[in-house]
Amino acid sequence: MGLRCLLSSRASGETWTIQEKGESTNCIDSFKVKVVQSYLEGVDWGLGQLREARAELREVSHDLHKADLESRKNSEEVTTLETLREISVSHRQLLAAVSNLPRLYKVRSMVLETERLVESRRLLEAHARLMELEHWQDEVLLQLQGPRGSPGTGLNSEDEELVRNYFSGVGRLVDALAKELWAVVGSGLSLACQNPTLFVSAVRIVEREEALDQMFLEERRSTSGQNIPMPPGRPRCWRDRFFKVMEEAVSARFRSVSYLHTRGPGLASHLSALQHCIKGDLSTVRNFLEQCVPSHYRLTRTYLRFCHQFLQNHLGLVSGWELEGGEIFAVLNWVLHIYNSSEMMGEPALVAELDIEDMGPLISQEGLEQLQNKYVQKVRKSVSEWMHKALEVELTDWQRDQEPDIDHEGCYHTSLPTIIAQMLEENARVALMISEALRDQTIQMGLYEMENLLSRFRDAIIVFGKEHRRDSATNSNKFYLHYLLACINNCIILKTSTESLQQQLCSYPSNRYSRISLGPLAALDRAVRKACRLVMDHLLFELQPHLQELLSRNWLAQGEVTQNMCGVLERHCEFYNKVRQPCRQRLKEECQWLTVVEYVRTLMQKRLVCRNSDERNQLVQRMTQDAQLLRDHLQSMETDGTIDEVNPTALITALADIINLKDPNMLILEISVLVNKYPDISEEHVSVLMDVRGDVPKDVRKSVLDFLEQSAPPLPQGYRPIFTEILVPSSRIQFCLPTAKCT
């Protein structure tokens, strides 16, 4: 049953599908018929349009053929019209000529009359005639050109050349008037004070010409499509030319101010003349010329700008010359101080007119630095030459047969330090008038040159000392010591001047030098030390004969040797009183030190060896007397009463105590006390002392020397060694047999 139902359902489905396919085929056929029918209708319509177009083309072709025939018939009439056009142009030109005949006849006479007006400087009348002539010329050209925009408009070159030649006198008049005009403008400064009418007339003419230029330019801009040419010689731009002529006049006026005497010593006068000329001209411009021109000219401001530009160029040229120091100073002072001062461009009324800073400096910063460097080099050359001459004079003074000059303080001196100090101070003062930076450069240069001078000065002192030692037998220079002391005083004066200059460098925090050279002070110290050394050498030379007799048998018997030494010391110390502090005290201390050192050096030579206790007592007594005598004389010559922390003469007494010791076994104790006071004493020095005693056993000697070897103390801070300067003469080497031991 179910199978039958399934089969029946499938049979009904197949019948429905066949019917549907038949209906679809019928629809497609009917659509195709409709498409073909629509296409055929379109083709039929297109063919109809083509037939209509062909008919219209035939009509147009027929009309064109008829038009061609008509134009061929009218060709002869067109030729007739061209002839009429040429006749019309010729008629128009003839009409223009006839209408301008009265003016054309008057052109030559007006040109001559205008020339006479120009020559007599009746400028306004001449310019009015010139404008009239130019107007006639422009009208003739326009009439020959024809109405604007009409056919045939234009001016052929032949007609234009004809008009230009006929009116050629007008061009000459323009040139002649311009020449007179610019001559008046160029001499405006002189005319303003006498008769400013001419200058006013010139300005009015310039303004008229400027207005005409603007009118013609505006007219050409409004008719730019018609290509209308400008009148001959336009635009003239006479206002621009007015200012150009003013600038040239300013430049020529300033160049004539002492220009022939600019180089050399006349440069300062030239700059001064420029200053007065500019001030006078500015007064004239502000009080007279400014009233003769329109306000928009800003003539004072313009004149200031011209002056500034000229000075920039002029000073740039001057800066390139090979200038001397005084000339460079004049330029720098004028540029940095005078020009911007209230006496010139810094006047309040002028500052309101123009800001000078906007136009830049007269000389650039780089140019100023170059000028300053040149100035320092020139001054350096001059300072070096003067120092060399001053040193030559100084060396000549040393050979004079009279003592040096004495100042109000009673000290020796020569002219050298005064010349050097005044020269350096004056150069620093002059440089400060320009700027602090230039002052600093000048001081540094001066200190450097002083260092070189002091080096040569020290060398000269050395040569002076050698020559004196070589000629000491003849005693050719009686004032050798005097001039050595004067050299010391000179160095002290120069040191004061150097410190003053260095303080000027340090007085400004903005100083561009980060550190100050200590070279001059070091050179001064070396020169002073050398002079002091030569003074002590001279003292030693005069003490030498007395030192030869010291600590001998004759000295032991007679006490005149030390007294004579004190006389020499007293005479020298009197000379030292003519030396400035602190070198005066230093020389006296060195004198005392030298005396004690030479005394002890003589003792170390073992000229006198005690043979018994009586001789030791006599030696100790004489040494004690000498120490006291030297102490009394030296201290009596101290002006301020100062006494050294370690009195050198006390050493003589200490050595006498070593020799005076009764018990040799106590030597080690006394020697230890001596070593504590004079830690630089050596074993050789102590050994000589024991030899001078003449009674020290070998075991005691060995103990003392062992003690010294083990106890060598370091030198305390601030202690001045004294035994280091005293060399112990080497003893004779005893002859020893090879097999025997030396004792």
Chain-centroid distance, C-alpha 258 = 28
Asked if the peptide bond before residue 361 counts as cis, ω within 30 degrees of 0, the response is no
137 near 231, Cβ under 8 Å? yes
* Average pLDDT over the chain, rounded to an integer: 82
Q: What is the pLDDT of residue 376?
A: 93
**Is the pLDDT confidence value at 21 over 60?**
no
CB atoms within 10 A of CB 494: 26
CA 75, CA 71: separation in Å to the nearest integer?
A: 6
**Segment 4-22 mean pLDDT:** 46
- Least confident range from 202-211, 465-474, 600-609, 657-666: namely 465-474
d(CA 631, CA 735): 44
Residue 14's alpha-carbon distances to 20, 241, 469, 711, in angstroms, are 10, 115, 161, 147
Tokens of 5: 């139902």
According to the model, what pLDDT value does residue 476 have? 67
Q: Is 146 helix (H, G, I), strand (E, B) or coil?
A: coil
Say which residue the tokens 């005097």 belong to: 482
Fill in the DSSP letter of residue 260: G
Largest CA distance in the chain: 187
Beta strands in 371-481, from DSSP E residues, in sequence order: 405-406, 412-413
Q: What was the pLDDT predicted at 391?
A: 92
Burial class (CB in 10 A: 0-12, 13-18, 19+), 474: exposed
Pull the structure tokens for residue 59.
Answer: 């009509």
Give yes or no for a contact between 486 and 404, defined as CB atoms under 8 angstroms apart: yes
**pLDDT score, position 196:** 86
Kindly state the average pLDDT of the residues 513-533: 79
Q: Which residue has the higher pLDDT, 471 or 669?
A: 669
Q: Which helix (H) or strand (E) holds 576?
A: helix 560-576
Question: Among 70-84, 191-205, 471-485, 606-620, where is mean pLDDT lowest?
Answer: 70-84
CB-based burial label for 419 (10 Å; 0-12, 13-18, 19+): middle
Q: Is 154 a residue whose pLDDT tops 70?
A: no
Whole-number Å distance between alpha carbons of 142 and 155: 9
CA 709 from chain centre, in angstroms, equals 67
Tell whether the model's pLDDT for residue 7 goes beyond 70: no
Residue 458 confidence class, pLDDT cut points 50, 70, 90? very high
Place of tokens 């103390």: 713
Per-residue pLDDT tens for 590-635?
A: 999 999 999 999 988 888 888 888 888 998 999 999 899 888 887 7
Sign of CA dihedral 445, 447, 449, 451: negative
Report pLDDT digits (tens) over 634-645.
Answer: 777 664 544 444
Q: How many CA atoms lie within 13 A of 402 on its CB side?
A: 5
Residues 145 and 126 sit within 8 Å (Cβ to Cβ) = no
Give Cα separations from 9 to 6, 18, 22, 295 (angstroms). Answer: 5, 15, 21, 121
Identity of the amino acid at 282: L
Say whether 69 sits in a helix, a strand or coil: helix
pTM of the model: 0.71
The DSSP symbol for 171 reads H
Q: pLDDT digit string (tens) for 667-704?
A: 888 888 889 889 888 889 999 989 888 888 898 889 98
User: What pLDDT is recorded for position 534?
Assistant: 93
Mean pLDDT of 637-660: 73
Closest residue by Cα to residue 538 from 603, 464, 460, 605: 464
405: β partners: 413
Q: What is the DSSP letter of 640?
A: S
* 9 three-state secondary structure: helix
H-only helix segments in 187-237: 188-194, 197-222
Asked which of 50-54, 191-195, 353-357, 372-376 is least confident by mean pLDDT, the reply is 353-357
pLDDT digit string, tens, across residues 402-415:
989 998 888 998 99
> How would you write 461-518 as a 3-class SS string?
HHHHHHHHHHCCCCCCCCCHHHHHHHHHHHHHHHHHHHHHHHHHHHCCCCCCCCCCCC
CA gyration radius, the chain = 60
Query: What confidence tier does 253 reach under pLDDT thresholds 50, 70, 90?
Result: confident
User: What is the residue whose two structure tokens read 């001449």?
Assistant: 126
Cis peptide before 348 (omega within 30 of 0): no
Rounded Cα gap, residues 545 and 555, in angstroms? 13
Lowest mean pLDDT of 132-146, 180-194, 411-425, 622-636, name the range: 132-146
* Residue 500 to residue 425: CA distance in whole angstroms: 9
Q: Rounded distance, CA 613 to CA 605, Å?
A: 20
As given in the structure block, the two tokens for residue 505 are 């460098």
Do β-strands 412-413 and 405-406 pair in parallel, antiparallel, or remain unpaired? antiparallel
Burial of residue 100 (CB within 10 Å: 0-12, 13-18, 19+) is middle
90 vs 145, 159, 228, 527, 584, CA distance in Å?
12, 12, 21, 112, 122
d(C-alpha 101, C-alpha 139), whole Å = 12
Asked if residues 126 and 204 have their Cβ atoms less than 8 Å apart, the reply is no
DSSP letter at 724 equals G
Question: To which residue do tokens 């179910």 refer?
Answer: 2
pLDDT confidence bin for 454, thresholds 50/70/90:
very high
Q: Which residues on adjacent β-strands are paired with residue 412?
A: 406
Q: Do the beta carbons of residue 597 and residue 725 sit within 8 Å?
A: yes
Rounded Cα gap, residues 286 and 303, in angstroms? 10
